[in-house]
Amino acid sequence: MAITTRSEKLDLRLSKQAKEMLRSAAAAQRSVSEFVLESALARAEETLADRRSFQLDSEQWAVFMEALDASPRELPRLKKLFQEKSIFENE
Nearest to 1 by CA among 28, 32, 39, 27: 39
Looking at residue 68, its pLDDT comes to 94
More confident residue, 6 or 36: 36
More confident residue, 38 or 87: 38
Looking at residue 41, its pLDDT comes to 94
**pLDDT of 36-86, one tens digit each?**
999 999 999 988 987 877 889 999 999 999 999 999 999 999 999 999 988
Looking at residue 86, its pLDDT comes to 85
List, as one string, the DSSP characters of 13-52: ---HHHHHHHHHHHTTTS-HHHHHHHHHHHHHHHHHHHHH
Looking at residue 91, its pLDDT comes to 61
Q: How far apart are CA 76 and CA 78, in angstroms?
A: 5
pLDDT at 2 > cutoff 70: no
